[in-house]
Amino acid sequence: MMKGKLVMHTIKDVAKIAGVSTSTVSRALSGNIPVNDDTKKRVLDAVKQLNYKPNFLAKGLKEGRSNAIGLIIPDIRNPIFPALARGVEDTARSNGFNVIFSNSDENIENEINSVNMLKNRWVDGFIFATASLDCQHIHQLREENIPVVLMVRNIEESFDAVVTNNFEASYNAVKYLIDRGLKKIAIINGRLSLSLYRERYEGYKKALEDHGIDFSEEICFNCSMANGNCYEVVKNYFSTHRDVDGVFATNDSKAIEAIRAIKDVGLRVPTDISVIGFDDIQISALLDPQLTTVAQPLYDMGKLAVEKLIKIINEKSKRKKKPQIDVVKSELVIRNSTI
């Protein structure tokens, strides 16, 4: 078996060159154990000379941790996840953790498979941005004392989580439309099995109520399927109705489809109909018209989730803290899709 020119050196090689034992090398490198300055220097020189890098597999095996975290999301192609993932990766890396990521497609089987694979000492903890009602496997993780933080999508009070103020932000978005003089505001909703959509829905209803606007089921569009049908639903409605003057879409993708549908029936945005989205995905600022939307601090949410997770991982005293749900603020960004 031919090996490459440069082999991977081990701690033994370093020890030999520095003329010390492997334990001394280990100590010199770990930093927090006293080592004679001279010895240390010799070790460091040897390390440099050999370009020695410790084997993380060995270190992890010995220490019982891997310094990696698992990131489980539905699909990185869903435009809210890149920013989230980036926040996670940056923060993890700057804390010395690697990120192993996995897409579940909202499919519980996939998710369980990934979790099972990663549980075997691959990762020290998990970040989930996924939540079916069926979260047996996440409860199981907790029982096995494996740290878990939920992100974006919350399940129940019993998990640590980072979420946004969906209710309040939605309330404010709808209130903004009302303040601009709009009289009849539709909502395009998502899967109500996700708490985030339920909360946005509640915010919408409360805003109407507080401002004396009648709530009407008829203009609560539900686009819970794949993206395609949102366009159809909106187009259908507006080809026969001209009474609605505002649309609150519970995410930007739906808003984009709605705008296309509205244009296609010959109405103008925002002149005839104002549209607000939610998420502020990257392209929202590039559209025509540029989308007024609720900006979630996605990057920061990822960052915060990792910070929480690492804190839990490092709490060696495993006395379970009460789980804490961090709520970050989403804020309305006013652009040109609203009058």
Partner DNA sequence: TTGAAAGCGCTAACAC
Partner DNA sequence: GTGTTAGCGCTTTCAA
| Nearest to DNA of 20, 301 (CB atom) | 20
Footprint of a second copy on residues 291-320 (CB under 8 A)?
316-319
Q: How many CB atoms lie within 10 A of CB 129?
A: 24
Nearest alpha carbon to residue 95 among 70, 119, 69: 69
**DSSP assignment string, 146-166:** --EEEESS---TTSEEEEE-H
Question: Does residue 49 interact with DNA by CB under 7 A?
Answer: no
CB of 82 to a second copy, least distance (A): 4
Residues near 110 by Cβ (< 8 Å), separated by ≥ 6? 102, 103, 104
Query: Could you tell which of a second copy, DNA, none binds residue 240, using a CB distance below 5 to 8 A set by kind?
Result: none
Rounded Cα gap, residues 99 and 182, in angstroms: 46
Cβ burial of 195 (10 Å; 0-12, 13-18, 19+) is middle
**What residues form DSSP beta bridges with 127?**
71, 149
Question: Does residue 334 interact with a second copy by CB under 8 A?
Answer: no
Question: Does residue 183 interact with DNA by CB under 7 A?
Answer: no
Tokens, residue 1:
């078996």
Rounded Cα gap, residues 322 and 141, in angstroms: 16
Question: Does residue 63 interact with DNA by CB under 7 A?
Answer: yes
Q: Which of 31, 32, 109, 145 binds a second copy (CB under 8 A)?
A: 145
Residues near 271 by Cβ (< 8 Å), separated by ≥ 6? 339
Q: Within the chain, where are the H helices?
A: 11-18, 22-30, 37-50, 56-63, 81-94, 108-119, 136-143, 166-179, 195-210, 228-240, 252-264, 298-314
CB of 233 to a second copy, least distance (A): 16
Return the range that interacts with a second copy (CB under 8 A); candidates 27-35, 94-102, 191-199, 218-226.
94-102
Q: Alpha carbon of 292 to those of 259, 284, 285, 289: distances in Å?
A: 12, 8, 8, 9
Question: Does residue 29 interact with DNA by CB under 7 A?
Answer: yes
Question: Does residue 31 interact with DNA by CB under 7 A?
Answer: no
Question: Does residue 24 interact with DNA by CB under 7 A?
Answer: yes
Query: Could you tell which of a second copy, DNA, none binds residue 322, using a CB distance below 5 to 8 A set by kind?
Result: none
Question: Does residue 119 interact with a second copy by CB under 8 A?
Answer: yes
Q: Which of 107, 136, 282, 324 binds a second copy (CB under 8 A)?
A: 282
Question: Does residue 157 interact with DNA by CB under 7 A?
Answer: no
Cβ atoms 279, 252 nearer than 8 A:
yes
Query: Could you tell which of a second copy, DNA, none binds residue 114, using a CB distance below 5 to 8 A set by kind?
Result: a second copy
Return residues touching a second copy (CB under 8 A). Answer: 1-6, 8, 53-58, 60-61, 66, 68, 75-77, 79, 81-83, 85-86, 89-90, 93, 98-103, 114, 116-122, 143-146, 253, 256-257, 259-260, 263, 282-283, 286-288, 316-319
Chain residues that interact with DNA, rule: CB under 7 A:
8, 10-12, 19-27, 29-30, 33-36, 38-40, 54-55, 58-59, 61-64
